[in-house]
Amino acid sequence: MTGPFTAGPMTEAELPAVVALWQAAGLTRPWNDPAEDIAFCRASGHGDVLVRRAADGAIVAACMVGHDGHRGVVYYVAVDPAARGAGHGRAIMAAAEAWLRARGVWKLNLLVRAGNEAVQHFYERLGFEAQPRIYMEKWLDPARKPPPR
């Protein structure tokens, strides 16, 4: 994995590599099909999956970015475990922020799962601040709700 590194929207051919990266980063869950999530996001017209590529095309980082007409959001922020600590996380987040700024979005929100609190320090280095909020959710298709965990 050598540079120069470049960031841009994922191509369809890169789908398996992106899903493998998210799995290696521990971000996938049984109730979220990442390929379905990607297809749904990209069909929306207000979201995309961005990748950061090495000179040989290997994907070192990826994230999903989008906005809901109010705020920007990122999901699935991941760096190849073999390439961490080299600034690729900061770079893929910079690409996501640029994607949002280009669309006039002025605020970016994100969620950190319980059990992954250590990543809060990564986001703080990038200028994020934790805020006291209560996160709530409702499955609009109850058939897709996972069993209690």
Ligand X SMILES: CC(C)(COP(=O)(O)OP(=O)(O)OC[C@H]1O[C@@H](n2cnc3c(N)ncnc32)[C@H](O)[C@@H]1OP(=O)(O)O)[C@@H](O)C(=O)NCCC(=O)NCCS
Among residue numbers 124 through 143, which ones bind ligand X (CB under 6 A)? Answer: 125
Asked if 104 interacts with ligand X (CB under 6 A), we say no
Are 105 and 68 contacting, i.e. CB atoms less than 8 angstroms apart?
no
Q: Return the SS3 of 28.
A: coil
Residue 44 is encoded by which pair of tokens?
Answer: 């929306």
Residue 4 vs 104, nearer CB to ligand X: 4
Chosen residue from 53, 88, 96, 100 binding ligand X by CB under 6 A: 88
Task: Assign residue 127 a region (left: φ > 0; alpha: ψ between -120 and 50; beta: otherwise).
Answer: left
Q: Does 87 bind ligand X (CB under 6 A)?
A: yes
Pull the structure tokens for residue 10. 């994922």
Nearer to ligand X, 19 or 79 (CB): 79
Minimum separation from the CB atom of position 139 to ligand X (A): 21
User: In this chain, which of 14, 32, 42, 122 binds ligand X, going by CB under 6 A?
Assistant: 122
Compute the C-alpha angle 60/16/91, nearest 5°.
25
Q: Which residue is nearest to ligand X (CB)?
A: 89
Contacting residue, 85, 104, 147, 148, with ligand X by CB under 6 A: 85
Report the site for ligand X in 8-47 (rule: CB under 6 A).
25, 27
The pattern of x and - marking residues 55 through 84 that bind ligand X according to CB under 6 A reads ----------------------xxx----x
Interaction of residue 148 with ligand X, rule CB under 6 A = no
Q: Nearest-CA neighbor of 123 among 74, 86, 81? A: 74
Distances (CA, A) of 134 to 56, 82, 111, 131, 137: 43, 34, 11, 10, 10
